Amino acid sequence: MDFFEAQARAKKRTSRLVVLFVVAVLGTMAAGYVAAWIAVGQVQNSRAQAYDGYGQVYASALDRPLFDPKLLLTVGLGTLLVVGLSSWFKWLSFRTGGAAVAESVGGRRIDPGQATPAERRLLNVVEEMSIASGVPMPAVYVLDQEVGINAFAAGLTTNDAVVAVTRGTLEKLNRDELQGVIGHEFSHILNGDMGLNVKLTALLFGILVIGLMGRGVLWSMRGMRVRSGGNRNSGGAVIAIFGIGIAMMIIGYIGYFFGRLIQAAVSRQREFLADASAVQFTRNPEGISGALSKIGGFALGSGINSNKATAIGHFFFAQGFRSNFGGLWATHPPLDERIRAINPRWDGRFFDPPEVVDVTKESFQTKGFAQAPGTSYAVPPIIDPLRRIAFMPAAAVADVGQLTDNYYRHAQDLLANIPATLREAARQVATAPALTYGLLISGDAKESATQQDIVKTADSVATAEQLAGLLPILRLLDPSARLPLLLLATLALRQLDHAAMERFLGTLDELVYADAKVSTFEFVLQKLLTRHLELARTPDQRVDYVSFNAVSHEIAVVLSVMARIGDANPQAEGIAFATGAAQLKLIESSLVLLSPEAADFEALDHALEKLAVSSFPIRKRLLNAAAHVIGSDGTITVEEGELYRAIAVTLDCPLPPLGAKAGTA
């Protein structure tokens, strides 16, 4: 199943979830109506007579018609109001992205500058996964108070995703097992499961609120007493309020019961898929099966202590809370089933834990570092950005959002050959801007001096000094490693405060236009960064265009720009454009190769803004057509690959780096 099928499947699951939620709300309304009907009858009986609102008197409240339109309307509107507003409130609390979810359960963001060896190992694994999948580096959190083995991914899009692990995961898993767990979570990121989880949490909270309100009513009455010989009406009122509280609590928890059933049913099957994806990603079934075996072997297992996390139990890697009602509420399949699905030869025995687990006794490699401190990095051979390598367009689109071991090994190689100084600069909020500026600095001495002066004036002297220190190392960086390094830096850049962010973006803009022209890489870097930072700040999942005709001009702009990248002659440009247009049969006749003035980088920028809110089928066909344009001669350059990746990222379609075996011949 490719990335686009996974997104379509996630959308279908969301629609099914909404239908089930509506059924649960209708059931809650029905139960509320029955309770209200009985309560109204009891109140009327307390007055010795029962009225239907039209002057007719009944001997008993039970003689009333079962259907009371006014009562049904009142209960229905009240239920919808409470459930709707509560769900909307919960959705808004998570709307800012995955960080809100992680922090709501006590997660602590790892500061790379102060990370422990175990935390640096975790960061290293997440960095490898990020580069291999083409996803911007997620923020990484630790649940310090949780000693069980567990983890989760949260967010609305790939741009605001976070990965969180418990302290037990850091302390008890080796590197292979940690890779398996993180690979599982990246599968959730790429398969659209995160957004579904957030929606499920919001909807379930809406139903639960009715029960919580009833419990609140009862709690508020704990000090009340009905005085004997006092006002009989006051005693009846207290009894009525108590009855209302009991009814609301019962009705709310009935709805919550069925909501949890929906939650469990939606969650369980996705775990098998994520386990399989983790194995495909790392090509090491022993990793994730070892993590699951340790969960079964340790007394604390995967248990989560914090009550704040109960609402997101379906987010976790393994069952975080006791499953009641004979497993009906289980959000995850049994451990033995998950292990056997990965490793059919498993002997049925879980891990036998030692008395003491000490991660400081692991080897240097298992802690997640490629080389020991003090050793020098081998400088890789520099690839000419314009040198052509073999390329298969169809494979490129199939690679979008895929987890494969080829990409993972390629990512490990890329990271191993990026100097430690640059990796550390990418991780730190204080140095990430200078590193980003450095990627734009020209190799020409005169232009370089001018650009460094711009940094000194537009940003600060301190940043300019940091830039000067990084430039000699950046000169040795393989061009194919520029975008992966930039994706790592996005995590630190997201943490800039408002003033620093404005200063950074303004300086970036001045550097791009310093020579009065925009190169392909300058456009790629600025577009990728601004789009990512925008989505990380305000995740956007809306779809405004579902018709190819509505965006045909924008598609023509993209294909025209791609046709002119590199050193193609006019004849080759026409052939390349026609090759891509032929992949869009519905609008092929309306697509024409635009002039350089009508299809420059400014036009491309506007086109991508519109295409970013088109449907996933449009994005898939566009990426396929663009791949055929640049690969019309069977080859691709680093420069073309970077632009193609920037387009994919802008469309929220993560694409692994150029150079891995998949996607190239």
**Taking the CA of residue 520 as centre, how many other CA atoms within 13 Å lie in the half-sphere pointing to its CB?**
22
Residue 524 dihedral angles phi and psi, to the nearest 5°? -60, -50
Model confidence at 358: pLDDT above 70: no
**Residue 142 belongs to what H/E stretch?**
strand 139-143
pLDDT of residue 209: 78
- Among residues of the chain, what percentage have pLDDT more than 90? 30
Mean pLDDT of 351-366: 53
Instruction: Return the SS3 of 140.
Output: strand
State pLDDT tens for residues 364-415: 344 443 333 443 434 444 445 556 777 777 777 777 766 677 778 888 888 8
Mean pLDDT of 550-578: 88
Which residues does 55 contact at the CB level (< 8 Å), separation at least 6? none
Q: Is 355 a catalytic residue?
A: no
Q: Which of 449, 388, 465, 427 has its CA nearest to residue 664?
A: 388
From the list 119, 177, 185, 554, the catalytic residue is: 185
Q: Is residue 260 part of a domain?
A: no
- 4 — pLDDT class (breaks 50, 70, 90): low
CA 371 to chain centre: 31
- 307 — pLDDT class (breaks 50, 70, 90): confident
Q: Is 151 left (phi over 0), alpha (psi -120 to 50) or beta?
A: beta
More confident residue, 430 or 94: 430
Q: Is residue 301 part of a domain?
A: no
Q: Is residue 112 part of a domain?
A: no
Q: Is residue 481 part of a domain?
A: yes
CA 546 to chain centre: 23
Mean pLDDT of 200-220: 72
- 198 — pLDDT class (breaks 50, 70, 90): confident
The number of beta carbons lying within 10 Å of the beta carbon of residue 62 is: 12
The one-character DSSP state at 418 is: S
Q: Which of 90-99, 207-216, 635-644 has the highest mean pLDDT?
A: 635-644
Q: Is residue 582 part of a domain?
A: no
Model confidence at 244: pLDDT above 60: yes
Q: Is residue 168 part of a domain?
A: no
Mean pLDDT of 261-290: 80
- Euclidean distance between CA atoms 134 and 528, whole angstroms: 12
- Euclidean distance between CA atoms 43 and 57, whole angstroms: 14
Q: Which of 320, 315, 317 has its CA nearest to residue 94?
A: 315
Q: Is residue 212 part of a domain?
A: no
pLDDT of residue 658: 60
Instruction: Return the SS3 of 317.
Output: coil
Q: Does the model's pTM come out above 0.85?
A: no
Burial readout 242-263 (b: 16 or more C-beta within 10 A, e: otherwise)? ebbbebbbebbbbbbbbbbebb
pLDDT of residue 141: 96
Model confidence at 665: pLDDT above 60: no
Sheet of 108-109, strands arranged across: 108-109, 139-143, 162-166, 151-154
Task: Give the chain's domain count.
Answer: 1
Model confidence at 194: pLDDT above 90: no
| 327, 319 contact by CB (below 8 A) | no
- 430 — pLDDT class (breaks 50, 70, 90): very high
State pLDDT tens for residues 567-603: 567 888 899 999 999 999 989 999 999 999 999 999 9
Q: Is residue 346 part of a domain?
A: no
The lowest-confidence range among 8-22, 127-141, 369-383, 502-516 is 369-383
Instruction: Return the SS3 of 243.
Output: helix
Average pLDDT, the chain: 80
Q: What is the domain extent for residue 451?
A: 401-515
Task: Give DSSP secondary structure letters for 581-597.
Answer: HTT-TTTGGG--PPPTT
**Taking the CA of residue 274 as centre, how many other CA atoms within 13 Å lie in the half-sphere pointing to its CB?**
29
